[in-house]
Chain A
Amino acid sequence: MASGLPHPLLLAPLAGMDSITINGEVVNFSHVFYTWIAMAILFTLAFLVRGQIKLVPGKLQNVFEVIIGGLEDFVVGNIGEDGRKIFHVLIALFLFIITMNLMGLVPGFDAPTANVNTNAAMALFTFGYYNWIGLRRWGVGYIKHFCGPFWWLTPLMLPLELISHCARPLSLTLRLFGNIRGEEIVLILFFLLAPLVGTIPIYFLFGLAKCLQAFIWFMLSMIYLKGSLEHAH
Protein backbone atom coordinates (compact mmCIF):
# COMPACT_ATOMS: atom_id res chain seq x y z
CA MET A 1 0.00 0.00 0.00
CA ALA A 2 1.14 3.55 0.49
CA SER A 3 4.90 3.53 0.53
CA GLY A 4 6.55 5.51 3.29
CA LEU A 5 3.96 4.40 5.82
CA PRO A 6 4.50 1.38 8.02
CA HIS A 7 3.06 -1.75 6.53
CA PRO A 8 2.70 -5.16 8.11
CA LEU A 9 3.52 -7.27 5.07
CA LEU A 10 4.53 -6.56 1.50
CA LEU A 11 5.59 -8.99 -1.18
CA ALA A 12 8.21 -6.87 -2.94
CA PRO A 13 10.75 -6.67 -0.06
CA LEU A 14 10.30 -10.42 0.51
CA ALA A 15 11.13 -11.10 -3.13
CA GLY A 16 14.08 -8.70 -2.97
CA MET A 17 12.47 -6.49 -5.63
CA ASP A 18 11.93 -3.34 -3.56
CA SER A 19 14.71 -1.43 -5.28
CA ILE A 20 17.40 -2.15 -7.84
CA THR A 21 20.72 -0.48 -8.58
CA ILE A 22 21.30 1.01 -12.03
CA ASN A 23 24.70 2.67 -12.63
CA GLY A 24 25.25 2.99 -8.89
CA GLU A 25 21.90 4.69 -8.33
CA VAL A 26 19.27 2.99 -6.18
CA VAL A 27 15.95 3.05 -8.03
CA ASN A 28 12.53 2.24 -6.58
CA PHE A 29 11.43 -0.89 -8.39
CA SER A 30 8.43 -2.17 -6.45
CA HIS A 31 5.80 -0.71 -8.82
CA VAL A 32 7.43 -2.47 -11.78
CA PHE A 33 7.44 -5.72 -9.81
CA TYR A 34 3.72 -5.38 -9.02
CA THR A 35 3.04 -4.48 -12.65
CA TRP A 36 4.68 -7.77 -13.63
CA ILE A 37 2.41 -9.56 -11.18
CA ALA A 38 -0.65 -7.86 -12.71
CA MET A 39 0.55 -8.97 -16.15
CA ALA A 40 1.06 -12.51 -14.89
CA ILE A 41 -2.49 -12.59 -13.47
CA LEU A 42 -3.96 -11.33 -16.74
CA PHE A 43 -1.92 -13.71 -18.91
CA THR A 44 -2.85 -16.67 -16.73
CA LEU A 45 -6.54 -15.81 -16.84
CA ALA A 46 -6.39 -15.21 -20.59
CA PHE A 47 -4.73 -18.59 -21.26
CA LEU A 48 -7.16 -20.34 -18.91
CA VAL A 49 -10.13 -18.86 -20.77
CA ARG A 50 -8.62 -19.43 -24.20
CA GLY A 51 -7.90 -23.05 -23.48
CA GLN A 52 -11.54 -23.91 -22.85
CA ILE A 53 -13.63 -21.60 -25.01
CA LYS A 54 -17.06 -23.11 -25.60
CA LEU A 55 -20.27 -22.08 -27.29
CA VAL A 56 -22.01 -22.36 -23.93
CA PRO A 57 -19.64 -20.34 -21.73
CA GLY A 58 -18.35 -21.60 -18.42
CA LYS A 59 -18.07 -19.36 -15.36
CA LEU A 60 -14.79 -17.61 -16.19
CA GLN A 61 -15.63 -17.22 -19.86
CA ASN A 62 -18.98 -15.77 -18.86
CA VAL A 63 -17.36 -13.08 -16.71
CA PHE A 64 -15.04 -12.07 -19.53
CA GLU A 65 -17.85 -12.13 -22.09
CA VAL A 66 -20.02 -9.86 -19.94
CA ILE A 67 -17.21 -7.35 -19.38
CA ILE A 68 -15.77 -7.36 -22.90
CA GLY A 69 -19.09 -7.72 -24.73
CA GLY A 70 -20.77 -4.98 -22.68
CA LEU A 71 -17.91 -2.55 -23.17
CA GLU A 72 -17.71 -3.34 -26.88
CA ASP A 73 -21.39 -2.44 -27.21
CA PHE A 74 -20.69 0.76 -25.30
CA VAL A 75 -17.79 1.70 -27.61
CA VAL A 76 -19.65 0.82 -30.82
CA GLY A 77 -22.68 2.79 -29.59
CA ASN A 78 -20.47 5.84 -29.06
CA ILE A 79 -17.98 5.72 -31.95
CA GLY A 80 -19.83 3.60 -34.51
CA GLU A 81 -18.49 0.60 -36.40
CA ASP A 82 -15.00 2.16 -36.46
CA GLY A 83 -14.91 1.43 -32.76
CA ARG A 84 -14.38 -2.28 -33.36
CA LYS A 85 -10.97 -1.58 -34.95
CA ILE A 86 -9.59 0.18 -31.88
CA PHE A 87 -11.51 -1.69 -29.20
CA HIS A 88 -8.70 -4.17 -28.46
CA VAL A 89 -6.44 -1.38 -27.18
CA LEU A 90 -9.16 0.16 -25.03
CA ILE A 91 -10.18 -3.12 -23.41
CA ALA A 92 -6.53 -4.08 -22.79
CA LEU A 93 -5.99 -0.77 -21.01
CA PHE A 94 -9.19 -1.23 -19.00
CA LEU A 95 -8.42 -4.77 -17.84
CA PHE A 96 -4.80 -3.86 -17.07
CA ILE A 97 -5.74 -0.79 -15.03
CA ILE A 98 -8.58 -2.47 -13.16
CA THR A 99 -6.27 -5.36 -12.21
CA MET A 100 -3.55 -3.00 -11.01
CA ASN A 101 -6.04 -0.84 -9.08
CA LEU A 102 -7.66 -3.77 -7.31
CA MET A 103 -4.26 -5.21 -6.38
CA GLY A 104 -4.03 -2.38 -3.86
CA LEU A 105 -6.86 -3.97 -1.89
CA VAL A 106 -5.15 -7.37 -1.61
CA PRO A 107 -2.97 -7.75 1.50
CA GLY A 108 0.68 -8.10 0.60
CA PHE A 109 0.29 -6.33 -2.72
CA ASP A 110 0.56 -2.72 -3.73
CA ALA A 111 -1.27 -0.90 -6.51
CA PRO A 112 1.28 -0.04 -9.23
CA THR A 113 -1.04 2.82 -10.25
CA ALA A 114 -0.31 4.48 -6.90
CA ASN A 115 3.05 5.37 -8.44
CA VAL A 116 2.99 8.29 -10.87
CA ASN A 117 5.46 6.64 -13.27
CA THR A 118 3.13 3.77 -14.21
CA ASN A 119 0.33 6.20 -14.99
CA ALA A 120 2.55 8.58 -16.94
CA ALA A 121 3.74 5.71 -19.14
CA MET A 122 0.16 4.60 -19.88
CA ALA A 123 -1.01 8.20 -20.45
CA LEU A 124 1.80 8.86 -22.92
CA PHE A 125 0.93 5.64 -24.72
CA THR A 126 -2.74 6.70 -24.94
CA PHE A 127 -1.70 10.14 -26.19
CA GLY A 128 0.59 8.68 -28.83
CA TYR A 129 -1.94 6.07 -29.87
CA TYR A 130 -4.87 8.38 -30.58
CA ASN A 131 -2.63 10.83 -32.44
CA TRP A 132 -1.18 7.98 -34.50
CA ILE A 133 -4.68 6.72 -35.33
CA GLY A 134 -5.69 10.24 -36.36
CA LEU A 135 -2.59 10.68 -38.52
CA ARG A 136 -3.08 7.29 -40.17
CA ARG A 137 -6.71 8.06 -40.88
CA TRP A 138 -6.46 11.65 -42.11
CA GLY A 139 -2.80 11.98 -43.15
CA VAL A 140 -1.69 15.62 -43.25
CA GLY A 141 -5.34 16.69 -42.99
CA TYR A 142 -5.21 15.70 -39.30
CA ILE A 143 -4.01 19.26 -38.67
CA LYS A 144 -7.57 20.38 -39.41
CA HIS A 145 -8.59 18.85 -36.08
CA PHE A 146 -6.49 21.54 -34.39
CA CYS A 147 -7.68 24.52 -36.42
CA GLY A 148 -11.16 25.18 -35.10
CA PRO A 149 -14.40 25.66 -37.03
CA PHE A 150 -13.39 28.67 -39.20
CA TRP A 151 -10.11 29.34 -40.99
CA TRP A 152 -9.83 32.87 -39.56
CA LEU A 153 -9.97 31.48 -36.03
CA THR A 154 -6.88 29.31 -36.62
CA PRO A 155 -4.32 31.64 -34.92
CA LEU A 156 -6.42 31.55 -31.74
CA MET A 157 -7.58 27.94 -31.90
CA LEU A 158 -4.23 26.30 -32.74
CA PRO A 159 -2.53 27.18 -29.41
CA LEU A 160 -5.73 26.43 -27.52
CA GLU A 161 -6.06 23.00 -29.12
CA LEU A 162 -2.36 22.24 -28.61
CA ILE A 163 -2.66 23.15 -24.92
CA SER A 164 -5.78 21.07 -24.45
CA HIS A 165 -4.22 18.06 -26.24
CA CYS A 166 -1.09 18.30 -24.07
CA ALA A 167 -3.26 18.62 -20.96
CA ARG A 168 -4.91 15.27 -21.70
CA PRO A 169 -2.03 12.97 -20.65
CA LEU A 170 -1.37 15.22 -17.65
CA SER A 171 -4.92 15.04 -16.37
CA LEU A 172 -5.14 11.28 -17.10
CA THR A 173 -1.96 10.67 -15.09
CA LEU A 174 -2.82 12.88 -12.16
CA ARG A 175 -6.42 11.71 -11.83
CA LEU A 176 -5.54 8.03 -11.58
CA PHE A 177 -2.47 8.67 -9.42
CA GLY A 178 -4.29 10.99 -7.02
CA ASN A 179 -7.28 8.73 -6.58
CA ILE A 180 -5.40 5.47 -6.11
CA ARG A 181 -2.61 6.92 -3.96
CA GLY A 182 -5.15 8.75 -1.81
CA GLU A 183 -7.17 5.59 -1.33
CA GLU A 184 -4.07 3.63 -0.38
CA ILE A 185 -3.09 6.21 2.22
CA VAL A 186 -6.61 6.38 3.69
CA LEU A 187 -6.71 2.58 3.77
CA ILE A 188 -3.44 2.26 5.68
CA LEU A 189 -4.50 5.03 8.10
CA PHE A 190 -7.78 3.25 8.78
CA PHE A 191 -5.83 0.05 9.29
CA LEU A 192 -3.61 1.77 11.85
CA LEU A 193 -6.62 3.25 13.66
CA ALA A 194 -8.79 0.15 13.81
CA PRO A 195 -7.52 -3.02 12.14
CA LEU A 196 -10.24 -5.00 10.28
CA VAL A 197 -13.18 -3.08 11.83
CA GLY A 198 -12.10 0.09 10.07
CA THR A 199 -10.86 -1.41 6.83
CA ILE A 200 -13.49 -3.98 5.86
CA PRO A 201 -16.39 -1.53 5.26
CA ILE A 202 -14.20 0.88 3.35
CA TYR A 203 -13.12 -1.95 1.02
CA PHE A 204 -16.51 -1.80 -0.68
CA LEU A 205 -16.33 1.95 -1.27
CA PHE A 206 -12.77 1.77 -2.57
CA GLY A 207 -13.47 -1.28 -4.70
CA LEU A 208 -16.19 0.74 -6.43
CA ALA A 209 -13.96 3.80 -6.75
CA LYS A 210 -11.10 1.77 -8.24
CA CYS A 211 -13.38 0.18 -10.86
CA LEU A 212 -14.75 3.65 -11.63
CA GLN A 213 -11.25 5.05 -12.14
CA ALA A 214 -10.39 2.28 -14.59
CA PHE A 215 -13.65 2.96 -16.42
CA ILE A 216 -12.91 6.71 -16.53
CA TRP A 217 -9.56 6.01 -18.21
CA PHE A 218 -11.31 3.72 -20.68
CA MET A 219 -14.05 6.27 -21.40
CA LEU A 220 -11.64 9.19 -21.82
CA SER A 221 -9.39 7.27 -24.23
CA MET A 222 -12.55 6.35 -26.12
CA ILE A 223 -13.56 10.03 -26.34
CA TYR A 224 -10.07 11.03 -27.52
CA LEU A 225 -10.06 8.28 -30.16
CA LYS A 226 -13.53 9.35 -31.25
CA GLY A 227 -12.24 12.88 -31.69
CA SER A 228 -9.33 11.75 -33.82
CA LEU A 229 -11.43 9.33 -35.90
CA GLU A 230 -14.35 11.57 -36.78
CA HIS A 231 -14.26 14.34 -39.36
CA ALA A 232 -12.89 17.70 -38.26
CA HIS A 233 -15.70 20.15 -37.60
Chain B
Amino acid sequence: MVVKKNKGTNPGKYVDTMGTVGTIGLHMVSHPAVGAVAGYFLDDWLGTKPWMFITFLILGVIAGFRAVYADTKKVMRNQDKEDNERFQRKD
Protein backbone atom coordinates (compact mmCIF):
# COMPACT_ATOMS: atom_id res chain seq x y z
CA MET B 1 0.00 0.00 0.00
CA VAL B 2 2.94 2.31 0.52
CA VAL B 3 3.72 3.90 -2.81
CA LYS B 4 7.41 3.66 -3.61
CA LYS B 5 8.92 5.17 -6.71
CA ASN B 6 11.16 3.18 -9.08
CA LYS B 7 12.39 0.71 -6.49
CA GLY B 8 12.05 -2.68 -8.08
CA THR B 9 8.49 -4.01 -8.29
CA ASN B 10 5.86 -1.87 -6.65
CA PRO B 11 3.73 -3.73 -4.07
CA GLY B 12 1.06 -1.00 -4.10
CA LYS B 13 0.20 -1.78 -7.69
CA TYR B 14 -0.49 -5.44 -6.94
CA VAL B 15 -2.86 -4.52 -4.12
CA ASP B 16 -4.52 -2.00 -6.44
CA THR B 17 -4.99 -4.59 -9.19
CA MET B 18 -6.15 -7.23 -6.70
CA GLY B 19 -8.76 -4.80 -5.44
CA THR B 20 -10.05 -4.12 -8.93
CA VAL B 21 -10.17 -7.80 -9.82
CA GLY B 22 -12.01 -8.53 -6.58
CA THR B 23 -14.77 -6.09 -7.50
CA ILE B 24 -15.54 -7.49 -10.95
CA GLY B 25 -17.60 -10.48 -9.80
CA LEU B 26 -20.04 -8.52 -7.66
CA HIS B 27 -20.46 -5.79 -10.28
CA MET B 28 -21.75 -8.48 -12.61
CA VAL B 29 -24.45 -9.40 -10.02
CA SER B 30 -25.37 -6.11 -8.35
CA HIS B 31 -26.22 -4.12 -11.50
CA PRO B 32 -28.85 -6.57 -12.81
CA ALA B 33 -30.20 -6.91 -9.24
CA VAL B 34 -30.72 -3.14 -8.92
CA GLY B 35 -32.28 -3.05 -12.40
CA ALA B 36 -34.67 -5.86 -11.56
CA VAL B 37 -35.75 -4.31 -8.24
CA ALA B 38 -36.25 -0.89 -9.87
CA GLY B 39 -38.30 -2.47 -12.68
CA TYR B 40 -40.43 -4.45 -10.22
CA PHE B 41 -41.38 -1.40 -8.20
CA LEU B 42 -41.95 0.71 -11.34
CA ASP B 43 -44.37 -2.01 -12.50
CA ASP B 44 -46.20 -1.83 -9.19
CA TRP B 45 -46.39 1.95 -9.42
CA LEU B 46 -47.35 2.31 -13.10
CA GLY B 47 -49.40 -0.88 -13.46
CA THR B 48 -47.48 -2.13 -16.52
CA LYS B 49 -47.04 -5.64 -15.25
CA PRO B 50 -44.14 -7.35 -17.07
CA TRP B 51 -42.71 -4.59 -19.29
CA MET B 52 -40.80 -2.32 -16.91
CA PHE B 53 -39.29 -5.37 -15.17
CA ILE B 54 -38.01 -6.78 -18.48
CA THR B 55 -36.72 -3.41 -19.71
CA PHE B 56 -34.89 -2.57 -16.52
CA LEU B 57 -33.49 -6.07 -16.13
CA ILE B 58 -31.96 -5.80 -19.62
CA LEU B 59 -30.70 -2.30 -18.82
CA GLY B 60 -29.19 -3.68 -15.62
CA VAL B 61 -27.42 -6.45 -17.51
CA ILE B 62 -26.03 -3.89 -19.98
CA ALA B 63 -24.90 -1.67 -17.09
CA GLY B 64 -23.25 -4.70 -15.45
CA PHE B 65 -21.30 -5.54 -18.58
CA ARG B 66 -20.33 -1.89 -18.91
CA ALA B 67 -18.96 -1.88 -15.35
CA VAL B 68 -17.01 -5.09 -15.99
CA TYR B 69 -15.63 -3.54 -19.19
CA ALA B 70 -14.51 -0.44 -17.27
CA ASP B 71 -12.83 -2.61 -14.61
CA THR B 72 -11.08 -4.67 -17.28
CA LYS B 73 -9.81 -1.51 -18.92
CA LYS B 74 -8.45 -0.32 -15.57
CA VAL B 75 -6.61 -3.62 -14.95
CA MET B 76 -5.16 -3.56 -18.46
CA ARG B 77 -4.00 0.03 -18.02
CA ASN B 78 -2.16 -0.94 -14.83
CA GLN B 79 -0.59 -3.88 -16.66
CA ASP B 80 0.54 -1.67 -19.56
CA LYS B 81 2.07 0.84 -17.15
CA GLU B 82 4.00 -1.92 -15.42
CA ASP B 83 5.20 -3.38 -18.73
CA ASN B 84 6.42 0.03 -19.84
CA GLU B 85 8.33 0.55 -16.59
CA ARG B 86 9.95 -2.87 -16.87
CA PHE B 87 10.90 -2.16 -20.48
CA GLN B 88 12.47 1.17 -19.53
CA ARG B 89 14.46 -0.39 -16.70
CA LYS B 90 15.99 -2.92 -19.08
CA ASP B 91 17.45 -0.19 -21.32
Contacts and interface: CB of A to CB of B under 8 A. Distances in A.
A164 B1 contact: no
Nearest to A220: B23
Interface stretch (A71-79, A100-108, A111-119): A71-79
Most chain B beta-carbon neighbours within 10 Å: one of A160, A167, A174: A167
Q: Name the prevailing secondary structure of the A interface residues.
A: helix
Interface in A75-103: 77
B1 A171 contact: no
Contact of A167 (B3, B18, B31): B31
A166 interface: yes
Interface string B1-26: 11100000000100110111011001
Interface residues of A, number: 23
Contacts of B31: 163-164, 167
B27 A171 contact: yes
Given A163-B34, A167-B31, A219-B19, A74 B62 contact: no
Interface residues of B, number: 28
Contact of A212 (B18, B34, B59, B64): B18
Nearest to B27: A171
Given A77-B3, A216-B19, A219-B16, A175 B26 contact: yes
B21 to A, nearest CB: 10
Contacts of B3: 70, 73-74, 77
Interface string A141-174: 0000000000000000001110110110011001
Interface string B24-36: 0011011101110
Contacts of A219: 16, 19-20
A15 interface: no
A161 B60 CA distance: 10
B13 to A, nearest CB: 10
A70 B2 contact: yes
Nearest to A72: B3
Nearest to B3: A73
Nearest 10 interchain pairs by C-beta: A70-B2, A171-B30, A167-B30, A171-B26, A216-B19, A167-B34, A167-B31, A163-B63, A164-B63, A73-B3
